[in-house]
Structure 1
Amino acid sequence: MISDRKLEHLLICKQYDVQYKNKKTGFEDIELIHRALPEINKDKIDISTDVFGKKLNSPLIITAITGGHPLAKQINRELAIAAETEKIGLGLGSQRAGIENPELKDTYSVARENAPSTILLGNIGAPQIVGNNSEDFAQQAVDMIDADILAIHLNTLQESIQPEGDIDAKGYLNGINEITENMEVPVMVKETGTGISADDGILLEKAGIDFLDVAGAGGTSWAAVETYRAEDRYLGELFWDWGIPTAVSTAELINSVNIPIVSSGGIRNGLDAAKAIALGSDSVGIALPMLKNAFIGSNEIINFIKRFNESLKIAMFLVGASNLEELKNSNLIIKGETKEWLEERGFNTKKYTRRI
C-alpha cells in the first residue's frame, strides 16, 4: 500500500543517514567575495520576497516532505504552524495517496488548516499526469489543500530503485504541457534529489511551467532511502550518489531559462542559501532537516528558520547586499569540480566574478 510506503519513507529518513556519501552539493566550490566596506546596516537588510505571488518573510521554502499516512498528519501540522508563524512557503509530499484514498486527505489538508495565509505547494508525480484523468487528478490535489502552486515531481531514479516503481516515463513532457495549459494555479516542476539540467529546463520552460525547483544532488538521496527498503541493496548502493550537484544544476538553469528558480538539495543554512541566490536562484528549499525537527515539534522548526534567516543576513551583510536582488548581483568565484563541470558543459563561470 502507498500509505505503508509513506510511513517507511518517514521512518527511514528519521533513523538512517540517507544523504549522499561522496558527492557534495557543489556549494563548497562557491566563494562569495567579502566586502570590507559593505556600506549597509545589517539591521536594515530585507530578505523578503514575493516571487511566488504572496509576500514571504524569507526566501526559504520547506520543500515537499510528507503526507499519506496518519503519522504524516502530525508532521504536516507542525510544519504548517512553523511556516505560517514565520511566513515562509510549505510544500507537501505526493498527494496521490490522499486522492486514491479519501481517508488520508486530512494528512494533507491539515496544512492549510494550520497555515491559512502562507504559500502552500500541492504535489503530484509525473506518472499521475499521463493519461485521460490527469487534469482531474491535478485539480483534486489543488483543491485538497487550497494550493497556491501545483508542483509536479520527477523521480525517475527513485522509481528505478523502488520495487513497486513506475518506470514508464513516456509522455511526461506532454502531460506537463497539458497541465500548464489547463490549471488556474501556477505550475512548478521539481526534481527529487538528482537535479535538472539546462537541456531539460529549456524543454520544461517551453512546456509552459512557471517555476523550477532543481532539487539537486548532495542532500537526501532517494536511492539511499529505497536501498533501506529493498531486499537486494545492490542497485540502491550503486546509484546512491547519482545526480547533478545542486550548485551545478542551479547555475545551468539560471543561465538557460527565464523563469524563477528554487535551489534545493543539501542546502542546510543561510550561507548555502546566499551562495544559491548569488548564483541567481530566487529562493531555496530545505526538506530533511525540517522533517527531523518536525518529529520534535513546531518550535524546533521555528528555531531552525530563525537561525537560517540570521545566517543569511550575515552573509548578505558581508557582501554588502541590502536585499535579495542586490545579493543576486554580488560577486563570487566558482572553483573546483563545480567550475570544471560548468565549463565542460559550455557555461562561462567568469561572468560572476566582477558584476559590480
Structure 2
Amino acid sequence: MESRKAKHIDVCLTEAVDYQTVTTGLERVVLPYNALTQTSLGAVDLHTEFLGVRLEAPVLIGAMTGGAELSGVINRNLAAAAEKLGIGMMLGSQRIMLDDEVASSSFAVRNVAPEALLIGNIGLAQVSDELIPQLVAALDRVGANALAVHTNPLQEAMQHEGDTDFTGSIERLRHLAAAIDYPVMLKEVGHGIGTAAAAELVDCPIAAVDVAGAGGTSWARVEQYVRYGEIRYPTLAEWGIPTAQALREVRGILPDMPLVASGGIRTGMDAAKALAMGADVVAVARPLLAPAIESTAAVSDWLQSFIAELQICLHGCGAVDLAALRRRGVNPL
C-alpha cells in the first residue's frame, strides 16, 4: 500500500490526471458584478464555522496523501499552512494507519497545527463494525476534529485488487455516523455526488457532504496510470457529475446540509461561484501538491493568493460577507 501511495504522488505530479473533456460547469455561470458596490475590500468578512470550528476563510485543504515517506513532508507543510491561515485540512486515507504503525507518523501534524480544523479520512468500502474501534483510535491519535468517509466505487474498480463490494455501504455509513463521537462527512473523490446518492442521505446522521465533482483530478485516470502506465478505459476516466451540477443536485435534496464544493476548484473566482451556489466551504487539493513538497511557505503563498482573489470577488459583487454572497447567487451565461 505504501508503494501505491508513493505512485499516486508521482502520477499526480507527472501525468495528465485532470479530466480532459469534462469541466466543472462553473465556467457556465457568472458571478454578478456590481460597479456600485457599497463594500470596502478590507472589511469583507470571510469568516465561517464548519464542523464546529471557526475558519478565517471558507477553505479546506483537500485530502491528498498519507503512508509514504514523502507523505509526511507533504502533510506537515499543508497542516502548517492551514494553521497559519486559519483554514481546515483533510488528511488522506488513514486506512494504512490501521495496519502499519510506521506509516502513522506521516499523519502526525498536530505539532505544527495545534488549532487547525483537522478532518480524518477512511474509505466507505472499508467501514465495518469491527473496524470502528481501530478507526476511533486512529482519529484520536492524530487529534482529528471530524471524519471524512470517502465513497469511491469508480476509483476502486480501477485499482489493482481494489475494494469493489459496496453492498450494504449505506447502512454501514449510518451506523458509523451514529456510533462515534466525531462528526462524519461523506465525500466522493472527484467523480461527484448527485441526486441519487443525496436521496440516500436524507435521514442519515452525517454532519456534512463534500460533493467532490468532476472537472478537476480524475482518480479513474490516476489509478489507470498507476495500474497500467496508460489510460486503457478513456470513457471511464471521463465519467462523473460536474462540480456545479453536483452542488445544485445535492443542495436541492439536502437544503440544510453543510456542503463542501470540491473538484476542479482552482481560483478564487471558482470558489466564489461555488459559495454563491450554496456551498458552505470549498476544498482544494492537487494544486497544492507540488508546493507542499517544496515548503510551508509555498503552500501559504498559493492559498493566500487564492483567498485574496475570493475576497475581491465578494467586494466586486457587493457582498460584505458569505451570507450576502449567497443572496447574490450566480447568473447563467
What is the TM-score with the length of structure 2 in the denominator?
0.97
Tell me the residue number matched to 1:46: 45
Gaps of 5+ in 2: none
Residues 193 and 37 of structure 1: is their aligned pair in 2 closer, same or farther, counting only changes over 3 Å?
A: same
Tell me the residue number matched to 1:182: 179
Which protein has greater RCO, CA pairs closer than 8 Å, 6+ apart? Answer: 2
> Which of residues 123, 142, 145 is equivalent to 2:139?
142
In structure 2, what is the Cα distance between the partners aligned to 1:140 and 1:285? 26
Tell me the residue number matched to 1:293: 291
* Letter of the 2:68 counterpart: H
> Do 2:98 and 2:135's aligned partners in 1 also have CA atoms closer than 8 Å?
no
| Cα displacement (A) at 1:134 | 2.9
Superposed CA RMSD: 1.3
Residues 181-219 of structure 1: CA deviation (Å, up to 9, x unaligned): 111110000000000012211312422111000110000
| Cα displacement (A) at 1:40 | 1.1
> Do 1:290 and 1:301's aligned partners in 2 also have CA atoms closer than 8 Å?
yes
Residues 116-162 of structure 1: CA deviation (Å, up to 9, x unaligned): 101000000011213x4132133133112111010000111111111
Tell me the residue number matched to 2:118: 120
In structure 2, what is the Cα distance between the partners aligned to 1:201 and 1:119? 25
Tell me the residue number matched to 2:20: 21
| Cα displacement (A) at 1:108 | 0.5
In structure 1, what is the Cα distance between the partners aligned to 2:325 and 2:228? 47
In structure 1, what is the Cα distance between the partners aligned to 2:9 and 2:165? 26
**Structure 2 residue 214 is the aligned partner of structure 1 residue 217:** yes
What is the TM-score with the length of structure 1 in the denominator?
0.91
| Cα displacement (A) at 1:331 | 3.6
| Cα displacement (A) at 1:57 | 0.7
Aligned residue pairs, count: 332
| Cα displacement (A) at 1:163 | 1.4
Residues 281-339 of structure 1: CA deviation (Å, up to 9, x unaligned): 0000000011121111111110111101110011111110010111111042134xxxx
**Structure 2 residue 167 is the aligned partner of structure 1 residue 166:** no
| Cα displacement (A) at 1:25 | 0.4
Identical-residue share of aligned pairs (%)? 37
In structure 1, what is the Cα distance between the partners aligned to 2:273 and 2:5? 33
Tell me the residue number matched to 2:35: 36
Tell me the residue number matched to 1:82: 81
* Letter of the 2:165 counterpart: D
In structure 1, what is the Cα distance between the partners aligned to 2:242 and 2:305? 25
* Letter of the 2:50 counterpart: V
> Which of residues 249, 254, 257 is equivalent to 2:251?
254
* Letter of the 2:190 counterpart: G
In structure 1, what is the Cα distance between the partners aligned to 2:290 and 2:199? 34
> Which of residues 321, 330, 333 is equivalent to 1:332?
330
In structure 2, what is the Cα distance between the partners aligned to 1:305 and 1:103? 30
In structure 1, what is the Cα distance between the partners aligned to 2:237 and 2:113? 35
Could you say what secondary structure the match of 1:39 adopts? coil
* Letter of the 1:306 counterpart: Q
> Do 1:120 and 1:148's aligned partners in 2 also have CA atoms closer than 8 Å?
yes
| Cα displacement (A) at 1:233 | 4.4
Gaps of 5+ in 1: 336-356
Moved more, 288-297 or 263-272: 288-297
Tell me the residue number matched to 2:318: 320
Could you say what secondary structure the match of 1:329 adopts? helix
Tell me the residue number matched to 1:102: 101
> Do 2:4 and 2:226's aligned partners in 1 also have CA atoms closer than 8 Å?
no
Moved more, 197-206 or 113-122: 197-206
> Do 1:269 and 1:308's aligned partners in 2 also have CA atoms closer than 8 Å?
yes
* Letter of the 1:91 counterpart: M
Spell out structure 1 runs of 4+ moving beyond 4 A.
232-235
